[in-house]
């Protein structure tokens, strides 16, 4: 790695030696921009990159809430406002027990570059809490969400910071938080996205990340293999909102979803799973083994890694970060997959990504593939700002057009450099240059 970038990385590592997710994200980014920085001394001279890898603001606070037994409980809430060079901070909110500062810094860092790729003037942020909604009652979730907003609201605004939903935060939690925000501020503005359409949410927002992944997969398959999703076999890790909407749209486009997984295990059927049944009867935490009662030809495995051993055309890791390692990548390339499309944020390890690149396997990185969620959040902000409500078809068309535009920008630059199988590198370069120019002109 370039000496300048290496020193920046070592400084960061010395300050935050235990924050591996954050460090991995910065390391991956530095690898992508290494040649660009080496060949252009301006980047080192300005030292803007150093500012770019540190968050503008790390906000943490105590969240006190009353449980079902009338006893006060305490969790930690966070908001990482990473970079606002391109526009107000924008990024999701997740409630899961494994939330910590490192994970949120990594997500906010990635969000900054993902938002840059969309072309919409948005900065990057991420937030959440180590509150675990899985074993909580609806009343407890409501109490926690309101208490979380009572601490967070002072840092938010439609031109300041606009959170959205994420893992553990659906439109129900967003509704509780927005209601509390309105009580505290006496304002009805577009300070949250992922809202229910009844009070300003955008149609397609729930489906947007999953649908966008399929739209990008379609155009990529056309460019690289002159084909479409029709009749292609797909495996998807994760049965949450993203995974299930990938499955629905892929099924609609004629693909066969032959395997899906969640924390309980993997279900598979080489002739295709019943996606409508899964969507109607399963939530992300249901035991997938129960699906066998519906489909006698299906198989179940408790080993989550087995999903990457199944013969498939397209693999979509859509569960969590670093879920797909080098061994999984080798299994997939040995089975001659057409494409690996990242659904979750950075679900592939760096070793796995390098393996796909070296083997000229079409690899679509998460910052491009799953940008559909923030794209429609941007469209929701637009509708809120002009007091409009667009139809499902209008938003869906804008989503599809934008995903195509993002892919073409990355693909064309990769092709220009005779490096078509390194889309991650050029996604990082495009988003980096946009943010760099904005920071330079604003003296940030």
Looking at the annotation, which residues are catalytic? 126
Query: Cα(320)–Cα(287) distance, rounded to whole angstroms?
Result: 18
- b vs e for 208-238, b when ≥16 Cβ sit within 10 Å of the residue's Cβ? bbbbbbbbbbbbbbeebeeeebeebbbbbbb
Query: Cα(317)–Cα(319) distance, rounded to whole angstroms?
Result: 6
- Read off the tokens for 438: 């904005």
221, 228 Cβ separation under 8 angstroms:
yes
User: Beta strand 265-268 with 256-262: parallel, antiparallel or unpaired?
Assistant: antiparallel
Residue 196 φ/ψ, nearest 5 degrees: -70, 140
Query: Cα(97)–Cα(152) distance, rounded to whole angstroms?
Result: 19
Q: Give all strands of the β-sheet with 362-364 in edge-to-edge order.
A: 299-301, 265-268, 256-262, 233-237, 314-317, 339-341, 362-364
């Amino acid at each position: 790695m370039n000496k300048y970038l290496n020193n920046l990385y070592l400084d960061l590592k010395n300050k935050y030696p235990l924050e591996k997710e954050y460090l991995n994200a910065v390391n991956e980014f530095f690898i992508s921009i290494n040649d660009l920085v080496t060949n252009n001394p301006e980047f080192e001279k300005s030292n803007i990159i150093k500012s770019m890898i540190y968050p503008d603001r790390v906000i943490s606070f105590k969240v006190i809430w009353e449980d079902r037994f009338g006893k006060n409980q305490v969790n930690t809430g966070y908001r990482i406002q990473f970079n606002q060079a391109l526009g107000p901070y924008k990024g999701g909110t997740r409630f899961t027990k494994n939330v910590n500062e490192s994970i949120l810094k990594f997500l906010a860092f990635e969000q900054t570059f993902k938002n840059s790729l969309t072309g919409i003037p948005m900065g990057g942020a991420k937030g959440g809490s180590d509150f675990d909604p899985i074993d909580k009652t609806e009343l407890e979730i409501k109490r926690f969400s309101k208490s979380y907003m009572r601490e967070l609201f002072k840092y938010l605004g439609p031109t300041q910071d606009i959170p959205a939903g994420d893992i553990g935060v659906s439109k129900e939690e967003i509704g509780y938080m927005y209601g509390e925000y309105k009580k505290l501020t006496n304002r009805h503005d577009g300070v949250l996205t992922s809202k229910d359409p009844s009070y300003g949410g955008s149609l397609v927002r729930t489906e947007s990340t999953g649908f966008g992944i399929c739209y990008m997969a379609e155009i990529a398959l056309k460019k690289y293999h002159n084909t479409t999703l029709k009749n292609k076999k797909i495996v998807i890790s994760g049965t949450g909102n993203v995974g299930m909407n990938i499955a629905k749209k892929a099924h609609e486009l004629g693909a066969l979803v032959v395997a899906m997984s969640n924390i309980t295990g993997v279900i598979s059927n080489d002739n295709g799973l019943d996606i409508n049944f899964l969507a109607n009867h399963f939530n992300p935490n249901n035991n997938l083994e129960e699906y066998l009662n519906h489909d006698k030809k299906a198989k179940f495995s408790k080993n989550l890694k087995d999903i990457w051993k199944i013969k498939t055309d397209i693999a979509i890791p859509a569960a969590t970060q670093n879920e797909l390692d080098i061994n999984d990548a080798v299994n997939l390339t040995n089975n001659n997959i057409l494409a690996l499309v990242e659904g979750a944020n950075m679900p592939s390890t760096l070793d796995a990504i390098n393996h796909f690149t070296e083997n000229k396997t079409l690899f679509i990185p998460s910052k491009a593939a799953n940008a559909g969620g923030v794209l429609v959040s941007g469209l929701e902000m637009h509708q809120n700002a002009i007091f409009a409500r667009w139809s499902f078809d209008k938003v869906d068309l804008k989503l599809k057009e934008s995903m195509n535009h993002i892919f073409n920008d990355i693909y064309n630059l990769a092709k220009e450099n005779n490096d078509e199988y390194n889309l991650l590198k050029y996604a990082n370069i495009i988003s980096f240059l946009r943010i760099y120019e904005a920071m330079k002109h604003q003296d940030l």
